[in-house]
Amino acid sequence: MSKIETIRSNITKHYEKKKEEYQKRRSRDNRYKWGKYYQDSKWKFLRELKISHQPICEVCEAEGRAVPAEHIHHIRRFSSGVDEFEKYKLLLDYNNLMSLCLSHHKMAHEIMNNENKDMVTIGEIVKYDEKLRQAYLGSPQEARNK
Ligand SMILES: [Zn+2]
Ligand SMILES: [Zn+2]
């Protein structure tokens, strides 16, 4: 490895370590902040109920694939509740739940974070997924012209 490559790889390692530290800290903070909600026995029950009713990711299903749901997502963030009562109401509202695979769950939160929104629809996740796929594979138009 040349000297410059060594330096570059050291810098990359340094940043990855920082990023990892940051993510660890953030997930610890989140557990502390939201842990009591996720430990709620009614939430655990509802979560199991939803998974048993809808074991397939709802976005994958809309895209015509059957992928097991790994996560139960709140359509409207329960953290958006103005007070404890509202937060619990959103947390424990069966109609506020969506079964998602890991990657669609990530996308749902990416969209909400990027657009600063408290909720996202299945249709919006499908569109976002399509956009990511096109960015990765090139648009169908480009592919046809190749
Ligand atoms: Zn999915
Ligand atoms: Zn979620």
Interval between CA 119 and ligand 2 midpoint (Å): 9
Residue 1 has pLDDT above 80, yes or no: no
So what's the pLDDT on residue 143? Answer: 55
Report the candidate in 40, 44, 126 with the shortest Cα–Cα distance to residue 84.
40
What's the rounded mean pLDDT across residues 111-133? 96
- Are 70 and 101 contacting, i.e. CB atoms less than 8 angstroms apart? yes
Ligand nearest to the CA of 98: 2
Q: Would you give the end-to-end CA distance of the chain in angstroms?
A: 37
Q: Which two tokens stand for residue 144?
A: 């046809």
Q: How is residue 51 written in tokens?
A: 């998974």
Q: Letter for the amino acid at 123? A: G
Ligand 1 mean position, distance from CA 19 (Å): 26
Ligand nearest to the CA of 129: 1
pLDDT at residue 145 is higher than 60: no
Which amino acid is located at 128 in the chain? Y
Mean pLDDT, all residues of the chain: 90
The pTM (predicted TM-score) of the whole model is: 0.74
Position 146 scores a pLDDT of 52
Q: Using CA atoms, how far apart are residues 12 and 9, in angstroms rounded to an integer?
A: 5
Of residues 76, 38, 37, 71, the one with CA closest to residue 54: 71
Residue 50: what pLDDT?
98
List, as one string, the DSSP characters of 90-143. HHT-GGGEEEE-HHHHHHHHHHHHHHT-SB--HHHHHHHHHHHHHHHH--HHHH
